[in-house]
Structure 1
Amino acid sequence: MQSLVKILIPRQLFMLLILSTGLLNHVILIPNLLTAAGRDSWLSVLLVYPIAIFFSWLIYFIVKKSPKEGLFSLMKQRLGRVFSTILFIPMMLFLLTSCYLTLRDLMIWLSAYFLADAPIFMINIILISVCFLVTLSGIKAMAIASGFLLPIVMLLGFFIAFTNIHHKDPSLLFPVLAEGYAPLMKGAIYGLAGLLEIYVVILLQPYSQEPIKFRQMFVLLLILTGLILGPLSAAIMEFGPTDAVNFRYPAYEQWRILSIGEYISNLDFFALYQWLSGALIRVGLFMYLLCAFFTSKKQPYRLNPKLVVVMYLLLFGLMMIKVETFYFYSAVYDYFLPACMVFFLVQILFSVVLVLVFNKKGDHHGKNSKVETTS
C-alpha cells in the first residue's frame, strides 16, 4: 500500500463504519440477541461494553504502532507474500461471508415486505449491480455518500425512537436475571460479535490522512453500542420480551406501528431508506477491502475493474444458491455470529503480538545498524 495517497479524514472513515457496521448491529444482530438472552438481552450489551472498550484500546494500539501503510502491508513486507497471504485468508473469508449474509438478509426482507411478487433473480441482479457500482466508484465516493446518507439515517432513528415513546413500557425490561446468568452470558457472545467489528478500522487505516485517536475509537464504539441498545430495548418495551423474540426484524416492526395522530401512518418506507443505505455501503465497502487484498499496485484508490467483476460474479453465484430461510437464519445464529466473536478476539490478540514482535525486531535492527555505523 506504499503507493496510496491519503484521501480520508478520520471522520469520513468512521461514518463509513457507522453505516456498515451499524446495519449489522441494528438489523441482523438484534433478533439473534433476543433469541439468545430474551428480556436480559439489553443487559448483555451493557455487560460486554467495558470488554469492548478494552479491545478497542488494543485496536488503537495496533493502529498506533503500525506504519502509515497499515498492519497488513507491514505483514506482507516482513513475512513475505506467501505466508502473509495465508494469514490474510480468514479476514478475506469474513469480508466475503459478511457481504453474502447482508445481501441475503436484505433480499429476504425485501421479498417479504416490499417485493413479494418480484422474481428473486431480478432482486439479486439489481442489488448486486448497485453494489458493484458502489465498489467501483472507490472509497472516497463511498465516504462522501456516507456523509449525506448517515445524518438522514440517524435523524430517522431519533424520529422513530421519540415518536413511538407512548408505546413503550419500561417495566417490561424487568425483572432481570429471572432465568439465571446463562441467557446473559449467551447474549454476551452476540453482543461482542457486533461490537468487535470495529477491527475493520485497521483495514481502513491506510486510507486515513490523519492519525486515528483513541477518543475517536471510543466515540465510535459508543455509537455502535447505542445502535444495538436503542432499538433492542425499544423492541422489548413496545412488544414485550415474548413477542419481540418472535419478530424477525424488531427494528422494522417499530416502524409498522408508528402513527402520528389519526391521519399519518404507514411510514415504514423510511425503514427502506435506512436498510438500503447501510446495506449498499456495507457490501460496497467490504467488497472494496476484499479486492484490495488482491491488488499489489493501486492507482489512487482505484481497483482493477476486471478483479471487481470476478469478485461480484462469485458473490452473485453464492446468492443464486437456493437456501431455505429457516436454515439461513439458523446458520447465522448458530455459526456465523459466534464464529465472528471468536475470530475477532483471536485476530485482535494475534495482531497485537505481531505488532510487538515487528517493533521489537525493528528496534533491534536499528540498534545493530547504529553500532555498525559507529564502529
Structure 2
Amino acid sequence: MDKLNTKHLMFIIWGTSIVAMKTYPNVFIVNGGRDSWISVIIASIILFFYFIFLLFVCKKSNCYNMDEIYHKALGKTIGDIFLILFIITLIISLIESSSVEANALHLNMLSDTPTWFFLLFILVPAIYITKKGTRAITIVTIIGICLIMLAGINLAILTAKYKKFNYLLPIMADGVTPSFLLSVIKALGCYGSIAICIPFLSRVTNKSKITKHCIIAILIVIQMEIVANIGILSTFGIARVLSINYPKLIQTQLVAYFSFLEGGEFFVMLQMVGGWFIKYVLTLNAILILLKKLSFFNKYWIYIITLFVFIISYFISAKVILLYKFLNIYVYLSVVCFILIPTIIFSVFYIKTIKNNRNNYATKK
C-alpha cells in the first residue's frame, strides 16, 4: 500500500520540519542574538508562503509528481540533473539526521557509548522499516509524532517557572543588521527540510483538502518553533545559550518538583531520538521515491546509501566542533537546494503551464 491521505501528509510535515531547529538553534542564535526569535518568525512566514506556493502550483496544474514538474519546466536532461541534485541534498540530510542524534546522545546521555553504536541503532532499523513499505513508515511516523508532541507539551509546562522574559529585552536594540539577516537565512535553512515532503505529494490519493491540512500542519510547526526558541532564550539568556551545544537537553535538567521529582530529560530524549529517527526514515523513503523515477535505480541503492551515510556520519559525529561546522554549511545548502531552487523550478513550470493552457484555448477557438 503506497497511498497516503492528507492527514498522513500532516504528520510527514511535522516529522521533517520540527526537530532540526529544536536541536541545534545555536546555528542561527549566534547571529541573531537575543532577537533570534524574531528571525524565526520571519523565517516562518517565508516558509509558510513557500510551501503554499508549491501546493498552489500543483493544484493549478493538477500535477503533483516532482519528476514530471522538473522535466516539464527544464526538459528531460536538465530536469534529471536537478532531481539528482535534490537527491544528493536528501542524502546530506540523512547525514545530518544520523550525525546530530549520535553526537547529542554521546555528548549528553551516554558518553561511554561510541557514536558508531548510535549510528547502527538508527540506520539498521530505518532500512527494515523502509523496506516494509509506506504503511509501516506511516504508522511509525504517526505514533512517534504523537509521543513527541505530548512530550513537548509536558516540557513547556514543566519548564515554565524557569523562564525570565526580561532576557529577551531590549528587542531589536541594534535594528536590522547583516548579522540578523544571516540569522533569518540560517533559521530558514533549519526549516528547509520540509521540502522532503514534496516527493510524497504524488502518493496522496484524495487531494481536495491538501491545502487546508498543510496550512494547519505548518501553523502548528511555526508556533512550536517560536515558543521553543523564546523558551530557550528566556531560560538561559543569550550568553549562556551560546555556550551550550544542545540547549534543549540542558534546559530540561532544570526541572525538579518537590525536591525529588525529575523527568525532564526523559521527554527531550524521546523528542530527540524519535524526532531524528522519523526524519531519517522519511528522508530515506523520499530518496527511494525519486530514484525509482530515474533509469539507473536498483534494489541495492538503499544499502549503498546507508553505508555511505554511516561512513561520513561516523567521522562528522565524532567531534561536536566538526559537526557544527557541517551544520553551518548544511543550513545554507538547505536554503538553496530545498527552498530557492524548487521555488524557481515550480515558478517556471507554472508559467509554462499557463502559456500552454492559453495556447490550447486559442487553438480551440
Q: CA deviation at 1:110?
A: 1.2
Q: 1:56 to 1:261 in 2, by over 3 A?
A: same
Conserved 8 A contact 1:164-1:258:
yes
1:139-218 residue pairs with structure 2 within 5 A? Answer: 139-182=134-177, 183-211=179-207, 212-218=209-215
Q: CA deviation at 1:100?
A: 0.1
SS in 1 for 2:112: coil
Q: 1:80 to 1:220 in 2, by over 3 A?
A: same
Cα RMSD, aligned residues only: 2.5
Q: CA deviation at 1:12?
A: 0.8
Pair 1:329 & 2:303 matched: no
User: What amino acid is the match of 2:213?
Assistant: Q
Conserved 8 A contact 1:134-1:280:
no
Alignment partner, residue 237 of structure 2: 240
Q: Percent identity?
A: 18
Q: 1:266 to 1:216 in 2, by over 3 A?
A: closer
Alignment partner, residue 21 of structure 2: 25
- Hey, what's the Cα distance between the residues in 2 that align with 1:107 and 1:124? 6
Alignment partner, residue 315 of structure 1: 309
Q: 1:349 to 1:285 in 2, by over 3 A?
A: same
- Hey, what's the Cα distance between the residues in 2 that align with 1:246 and 1:342? 29
Superposed CA deviations along residues 32-85 of structure 1, whole A, max 9, x for unmatched, are 121121100011122333333332331121221344551323444786653321
Q: CA deviation at 1:248?
A: 1.1
Q: 1:367 to 1:185 in 2, by over 3 A?
A: same
Question: TM-score, structure 2 length as denominator?
Answer: 0.89
- The one of 255, 259, 269 aligned to 1:258: 255
1:264-343 residue pairs with structure 2 within 5 A? Answer: 264-296=261-293, 305-321=299-315, 324-333=319-328, 335-343=329-337
Q: 1:191 to 1:147 in 2, by over 3 A?
A: same
Q: Which runs of 5+ in 2 are unaligned?
A: none
Conserved 8 A contact 2:15-2:279:
yes
Conserved 8 A contact 2:10-2:217:
yes
Q: 1:320 to 1:237 in 2, by over 3 A?
A: closer
- Hey, what's the Cα distance between the residues in 2 that align with 1:319 and 1:93? 15
Deviates more, 1:136-145 or 1:61-70: 61-70
SS in 2 for 1:176: coil
Alignment partner, residue 63 of structure 1: 58
Q: 1:201 to 1:352 in 2, by over 3 A?
A: farther
- Hey, what's the Cα distance between the residues in 2 that align with 1:36 and 1:78? 36
Q: CA deviation at 1:295?
A: 1.2
Q: How many residues align?
A: 360
Q: 1:116 to 1:306 in 2, by over 3 A?
A: same
SS in 2 for 1:224: helix
SS in 2 for 1:259: coil
User: What amino acid is the match of 2:351?
Assistant: L
Q: CA deviation at 1:127?
A: 1.9
Conserved 8 A contact 1:130-1:280:
no
Q: CA deviation at 1:196?
A: 4.4
Conserved 8 A contact 2:252-2:264:
yes
Question: TM-score, structure 1 length as denominator?
Answer: 0.87
Conserved 8 A contact 1:70-1:205:
yes
Q: Which runs of 5+ in 1 are unaligned?
A: none
SS in 1 for 2:300: helix
- Hey, what's the Cα distance between the residues in 2 that align with 1:90 and 1:51? 23
SS in 2 for 1:82: helix
Conserved 8 A contact 2:15-2:275:
yes
